[in-house]
Structure 1
Amino acid sequence: MAQKAEPNALPNLEEVIMNNRLLFALPLAAVLAFPAAAQTTSSDQNAPAASQQTQSNSTDSNATGKAPLAPAPREGFWGRVNPFARKNYVKRQTEPIRDRVNELDELTSTNSKNIKDTDQRAQAGIKLASDKANEADQHAVEAGNKATAAQQSAQQVTARVQTVETVVGNIDQYKASNQTEIRFRPGQTVLSKNAKDALDTMASGVKGQRGYIIEVQGFSSGKGQTAITTSQKMAESVVRYLVLNHEIPVYRIYLVGMGNAPAPSTDENAKSKRISGGRVEI
């Protein structure tokens, strides 16, 4: 005969364990599902707000020419620090920062290149200015040397002009430095030994000199043209001897036959005397 089950019998041990697992699993699943749903919902809600904020700040510029990054808003239940964040969420949060870092790197590289180019152009300009200054200094030195040479040449020309003026001023200012008298017998025009010795002594004193002339005046006794011819022949004998024996240039000798002109006297009050025979004053 079958026995009737007791209504107040104790539950089985396996059923108790199963019920306890269900009680712990349901709250845990709810806790894990809530942050994910909150994260997705918050991201979808904040996307338009972030877009509007970016558009409103587009007028603000910085080094990259773009608006500065806005701080991330609080998202979901956990905020910025989300222990259950996924890779897409982290990538989406760090992508603007990575883009700005790349832009700053490019901007820094461009600025460095521009600074280098500017420095090179500045150095080239400084070098060009230095070369021009050195060239100007060389031109100035050359001009100074030429001016000094021109001044020296002018001084030399001035000295020469003064010398020429002195020579021209004294060209007809002659002074008697040596006088010699040669005697001839009446009717004779040949030089004696004493006459030649006197001429040798006089000619030796003019060798090597410049700017001198020799006056030869012949005097003869007699009258008229005969006396003039005789006096001129005696003077020619003296000139011939000086030119042939002492090589005195002819252009330095002036000859004149005075005939029977009175002999000049050193005393102004004394009367001039006529001579007998012939003589030549040199």
Structure 2
Amino acid sequence: MAVGGHTMNKTLGISLILTGALLAGGCATKKYVQQTAAPIQSKVDQVSDQANKQGTSIEEARKDIERHETGINAAKERAISAENQAKEAMTAAQKADQNAMTAQGAADKNGREISSLRDSVNTTLGNLDDYKLQAETVVPFGFNRDVLTDEAKEQLDQFVKEHATAKRYFITIEGFTDKTGTKAYNDELSRRRAGHVMAYLITQHNIPVFRVQDVGLGNEKPADTGRNRAARAKNRRVEIRLFSADQSLTLATK
């Protein structure tokens, strides 16, 4: 019994020693792991955090770049629009300048023509005492009519043809009516009659405007003071007279 108890005690002691060693070894291993792994994990966490921050920074940088690109594109579009507007403004300015030059040229031309016309009038009418009645004709009109008939046009054509050699001359045209109607109406009607004769001479025979003068006298200065139809017909007329300073012309009456 003594021997067996000694052996058992020895075995138990060895077991306790081994268990303590194992426990000591386990504690040492865990501590080692903690001491070694913790810094590594910290580094990993730090790197991961930095990576996350860098990722965020990169994303923000990308968004900033996109915003800048958007701003640049908008600026380019505004620049292109401004350039187009500048080109349009330049074109409009050039056109306006050209129009101004054209208008100035026309004004200069008109000024020269007016000056020439004034000189011609002064020369032509410089001495009215030299102008004598050289020819006259009377164009009849129908009742309440102011349009030239074919016969009236032929009469005017013949009048101009017979005196085409006149150089220094002017023509007077006086329109008249009969006494039918109001004074205001007759005055207007007589002006229309004289105006149509004047327009025909200018447009169909190229007589200068400054050589022709027309006037409407209504029912004044009647050619016939009678009250019958024949007298009224004589009063519906336009009298055309040619005055000339050309001594070679002789008086002709139609």
Larger helix proportion of the pair: 2
Q: Give the number of the structure with larger relative contact order, counting CA–CA contacts within 8 Å between residues 6 or more apart.
A: 2
User: TM-score, structure 1 length as denominator?
Assistant: 0.45
State which structure, 1 or 2, has the greater radius of gyration over its C-alpha atoms.
1
Larger strand proportion of the pair: 2
